[in-house]
Chain A
């Protein structure tokens, strides 16, 4: 794996979250997009259609969502950093090939700008209804990494992180926006940090003999070096459980070994994957735990509440999957109550309750028909429990 650090020019821009995803992806080295138009994610496709040819990259508008997902897996195997973007209904169609990408360990990013479901739902209204679809939408047990930005600036930063994580762990990564974050316009600084870390996948070394190359080698770090198609290795890639050589052998032990490796390559490295921000003071008795656009509401409610001396703090997940189980358990030991506002009927709260395991009271605030949660609703509940 190669890590490149570059120091790009800092510039101020007014962007939508969807456009910031495009900028972030380009900064991270993405050279390939394939997808299908869908509200509220179409601006991402439009951005790549305009920008990718300028760097010799490729933009493909495919015949359907499924083909868009398939094409990015193909492009990833051919050696390019690849991305696709969609919304809930399209995300449902992409699931089978997303599972395939997990199975063949193709690094890529899938952006889901969430809208209200089920089905066609409310195409232009925000939702966090795909949280569990992201985690469990495919057949079989499998891990996924999912990041959820809460601002335009974070859409840029977390897209870079999503591409980096996918390359580092040979793992598809989902970027969960929602309609509000996707369409929100904010002034942000591109390349705000001194330097941006860019991670490129680990490839076989120059002295690697193609005959002894194992595309799914059980390496110490559990992440096998990945050869680009066309680089002389002539290896096999299959959605069947395969041994280290990439060929299916049908043995239960082989399937078990691979299942465990796919799980452990992430779970042995959670500290590199789980990102969050928090502001919890020692004497805070309530914490509002959220992600995406609801985090903006939560932080606003906490900040105004503190002016009236409410003992409240906030905890914002940037990585929603794998779930920050240990961190939330620690939070539960610090406060009496955890409030979980969500734009769905209660999805994250199940994970929170599991991690909290009775150490603190967990209360949800839910809006699932296209309305954002108002800061007052969180404020009222904070006052009620304090």
Chain B
């Protein structure tokens, strides 16, 4: 694969901390994109604010680095204005589930053809380690110095409940699986969502005694299991492990939002319409 084709090499090195998992996500993404048949010139990558927000600066596409939490709302406008574009959103757990949580569930509800990659490092990294809606209870954060009392989302369930038609989860300890998930998400016609566990040794790990990046990747592996194996576990064990893989896939391109809007255009142009 020609990495240079998809990266803005003159913008490297990236700003992410040593040991950060975000580079692994970017790596897996460009590998997936290179294996897809999507046209690079017809692809827009959109991000919000935070560590994940910086991903767009390194990617050689039309890229839009928006305001905090709003990437999906901007992406909805881009996709509707020109449905021929492939529109990909890169967001974080704070960006995508706290300040931007409303846009996430509504885009899933519309089933608009966006591919959302959510970098989940369970913390606000760029602002210095405050808890996010994905920080597990009892964890330490700079704004939870006595431990976090908030319950975290199960994002896959949240997006499923909202109506997403492709839901997957991967982790940076297995970049090959991440690549496969991104490729499947890119091919899906409809709203696709890939929660991507990423390690943050600096802003999360240091406060929580998680060790270095290697230790954190080992923990990821320990706390996750393949979705097929997970389905066979007891209810009790299911709660202790995160399933990885494609968790839901509904193939119904006709229910995609821009496809449905085309029918509205046809209806409005029928004789005797409003």
Contact = CB atoms under 8 A, between A and B. Distances in A.
Interface of A: 31-32, 34, 50, 53-54, 56, 58, 60, 62-64, 66-67, 70-80, 82, 96-97, 100, 228-240, 247-248
Contacts of A229: 44, 62, 64, 78, 82, 85
A31 B46 CA distance: 22
B77 interface: yes
Nearest to A74: B77
B214 to A, nearest CB: 32
B76 A100 contact: no
B41 A234 contact: yes
Given A53-B268, A67-B70, A75 B78 contact: yes
A60 B40 CA distance: 27
A158 B175 CA distance: 55
A382 to B, nearest CB: 48
Given A60-B80, A236-B63, A237-B65, 12 more contacts: A54-B268, A56-B265, A63-B73, A67-B102, A70-B77, A72-B77, A74-B46, A74-B79, A80-B82, A228-B82, A236-B57, A247-B11
A35 to B, nearest CB: 11
B78 A100 contact: no
Contacts of B264: 53
A32 B73 contact: no
Interface of B: 11, 40-42, 44, 46, 56-57, 60-67, 70, 73-82, 84-85, 102-103, 106, 261, 264-265, 267-269, 273-274
Nearest to A248: B57
Contacts of A54: 268-269, 273
Contacts of B56: 236
Contacts of A228: 82
A278 to B, nearest CB: 40
16 contacts: A31-B81, A34-B76, A53-B265, A53-B268, A66-B70, A67-B70, A67-B76, A70-B70, A74-B64, A74-B77, A100-B67, A228-B82, A229-B82, A230-B62, A235-B63, A236-B57
Contacts of A60: 76-77, 80
B41 A230 contact: yes
B15 to A, nearest CB: 11
A74 B64 CA distance: 9
Nearest to B83: A58
A228 B57 CA distance: 18
Contact of B85 (A64, A76, A78, A82): A78
Contacts of A53: 261, 264-265, 267-269
B63 A82 contact: no
A230 B82 contact: yes
Contacts of A240: 65
B124 to A, nearest CB: 18
Contacts of B61: 234
B107 to A, nearest CB: 9
A63 B102 contact: yes
Contacts of A72: 77
A156 B106 CA distance: 33
Contact of B75 (A74, A76, A100, A232): A74
A67 B80 contact: no
A19 to B, nearest CB: 14
Contacts of A232: 41
Contacts of B81: 31-32, 58, 74-76, 78-80, 82
Given A63-B103, A67-B103, A236 B80 contact: no
Nearest to B43: A230
Nearest to B258: A58
A233 B265 contact: no
A6 to B, nearest CB: 21
A238 B11 CA distance: 14
Contact of B73 (A62, A76, A235): A62
Contacts of B77: 32, 34, 60, 70-76, 78, 82
Contacts of A56: 265
Nearest to B84: A230
A239 B78 contact: no
B126 to A, nearest CB: 13
Given A53-B269, A67-B102, A97-B70, A239 B65 contact: yes
A67 B102 CA distance: 9
Contacts of B62: 229-230, 233-235, 237
B80 A32 contact: yes
Contacts of B42: 230
A233 B261 CA distance: 28
A232 B273 CA distance: 38
A69 B61 CA distance: 23
B5 to A, nearest CB: 11
Contacts of B85: 78, 229-230
A231 B40 CA distance: 11
Contacts of A248: 57
A229 B229 CA distance: 43
B73 A67 contact: yes
A234 B77 CA distance: 18
B57 A58 contact: no
A228 B74 CA distance: 15
Nearest to A231: B41
A186 B40 CA distance: 51
A70 B102 contact: no
A360 B81 CA distance: 51
Nearest to A68: B73
Contacts of B78: 74-75, 77-78, 229
